[in-house]
């Protein structure tokens, strides 16, 4: 309970800072440090702990298996809505906040040993889907062009992905570096959650029926489908729980920002991110409790 209170407190700090005379691009500055320092340090510590087996494969496959299911459901949900609304949901719904929100939530609910699986889901699932699928959605509904070279450049030079490959190839870092990596890694949760709180937006003219249906799909239906897939695969309980919680994370802030920048139903996109974070603080513990009773 204390850890959840801490998470809420950090989110509230970010929300309160929206009213403060914060520097320009305050959230971007926090995100920059998290992406270039905190997350790579976490990757170097946690990735060598992973044992690649069927369970790890299941964690990596689940977000990709969920993707076509979510696309089909979004198309059904938006059959009577404008193309820009469909574009917003196609971009925001499949992509969860699997690192900035995922790491602290899973750490709280499942413990430190689950973090390697979080990173696998995030880097080989969410990040790659954002890089390829997200770019394709924007190209389809906004520019009509698909810049393959630019996408590959962003992928290959994304710091956490570089360190992920490094950790997979070279394994654990020297023991002398571990205390310093742990110190840098410890900055991830507070900085990420303050940034999330600072970036949260509410209100606007929103179709609340569509918003409600979208939140149910994102926060309830997706994790239960993931549970079915992983249970059928015979996935290790810890890997299963981690991947299910990751699949039920609220929509990614970056995906929401991209949708807003592209003009894809900005109010709805912002509401899905903001309300999704609040609602997920209720749904994720319930899902974790149910899995604990079943497994």
What are residue 205's phi and psi, to 5 degrees? -85, 100
- Tell me the CB-side half-sphere exposure of residue 98, using CA atoms within 13 A: 34
Would you say residue 244 has pLDDT above 90?
A: yes
Does 240 or 253 have the greater pLDDT score?
240
Burial of 5 (0-12, 13-18, 19+ CB in 10 A): exposed
Distance between CA atoms of 179 and 163, rounded to whole angstroms? 17
For position 203, what pLDDT does the model report? 64
CA–CA dist 123, 261 (Å, integer):
24
Give the CATH class of 39-294: mainly alpha
Is the CB of residue 37 less than 8 Å from the CB of residue 160?
no
Report the pLDDT averaged over residues 85-102. Answer: 90
Looking at residue 77, what is its pLDDT? Answer: 94
Residue 220 clears pLDDT 70, i.e. is over it: yes
Q: How far apart are CA 196 and CA 278, in angstroms?
A: 11
- CA distances from residue 208 to 53, 211, 275 in whole angstroms, order as listed: 42, 5, 11
Q: Is the pLDDT of residue 146 over 60?
A: no
Cβ–Cβ < 8 Å for 22, 199:
no
Nearest-5° Cα angle at 191, 166 to 168: 10
Query: What are the sequence ranges of the domains in the chain?
Result: 39-294
pLDDT for the residue 1? 61
Give the phi and the psi of residue 100 in degrees, each rounded to 5: -60, -40
- Residue 73 confidence (pLDDT): 96
Q: How far is residue 118 from each of residues 4, 6, 209, 224, 285, measured CA to CA in Å?
A: 18, 20, 31, 17, 16
Q: Report the pLDDT value the prediction gives residue 149, as an integer from 0 to 100.
A: 67
Contacts of 177 (CB under 8 A, 6+ apart): none
- CA terminus-to-terminus distance, the chain: 22
Give residue-wise pLDDT tens across range 33-86: 888 888 888 888 887 877 777 888 899 999 999 999 999 999 999 999 999 999
- pLDDT higher than threshold 60 for residue 144: no
pLDDT > 90? residue 291? yes
Give yes or no for a contact between 97 and 279, defined as CB atoms under 8 angstroms apart.
no
Q: Is the pLDDT of residue 153 over 70?
A: no
25: left (phi over 0), alpha (psi -120 to 50) or beta: left
Say what the pTM is: 0.83
Secondary structure of the chain: what % helix, strand, coil (to 5)? Answer: 80, 0, 20
3-class secondary structure, 251: strand
Rounded to 10°, the helix 222-233/54-77 angle is 150
- Three-state SS for 269? helix
Residue-wise pLDDT for 181-212, tens only, equals 999 988 887 887 888 788 777 766 788 899 99
Residues whose CB is less than 8 angstroms from the CB of residue 152 and which lie 6 or more positions away in sequence, other chains included: none
Provide the 3-class DSSP secondary structure of residue 36: helix
Give the residue, 135 or 163, on which the prediction is more confident.
163
């Amino acid at each position: 309970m204390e850890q959840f209170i801490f998470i809420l407190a950090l989110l509230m700090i970010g929300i309160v800072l929206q009213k403060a005379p914060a520097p320009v691009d305050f959230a971007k500055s926090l995100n920059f440090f998290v992406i270039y320092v905190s997350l790579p340090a976490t990757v170097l510590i946690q990735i060598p702990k992973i044992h690649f087996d069927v369970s790890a494969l299941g964690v990596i496959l689940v977000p990709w298996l969920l993707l076509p299911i979510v696309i089909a459901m979004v198309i059904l949900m938006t059959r009577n809505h404008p193309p820009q609304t469909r574009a917003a949901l196609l971009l925001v719904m499949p992509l969860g906040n699997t690192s900035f929100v995922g790491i602290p939530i899973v750490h709280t609910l499942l413990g430190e040993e689950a973090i390697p699986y979080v990173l696998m889901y995030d880097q080989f699932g969410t990040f790659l889907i954002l890089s390829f699928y997200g770019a394709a959605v924007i190209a389809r509904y906004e520019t009509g062009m698909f810049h393959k070279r630019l996408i590959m450049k962003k992928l290959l030079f994304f710091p956490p992905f570089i360190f992920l490959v490094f950790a997979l190839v070279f394994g654990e870092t020297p023991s002398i570096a571990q205390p310093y990596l742990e110190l840098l890694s410890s900055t991830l949760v507070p900085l990420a959650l303050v940034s999330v709180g600072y970036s949260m937006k509410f209100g606007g003219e929103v179709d609340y029926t569509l918003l409600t249906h979208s939140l149910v799909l994102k926060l309830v239906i997706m994790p239960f489908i993931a549970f079915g897939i992983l249970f059928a695969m015979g996935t290790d309980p810890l890997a299963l729980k981690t991947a299910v919680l990751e699949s039920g994370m609220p929509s990614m802030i970056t995906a929401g920002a991209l949708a807003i920048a592209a003009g894809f139903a900005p109010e709805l996109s912002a509401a899905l991110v903001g309300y999704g974070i609040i609602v997920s603080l209720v749904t994720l513990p319930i899902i974790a409790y149910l899995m604990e009773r079943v497994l």
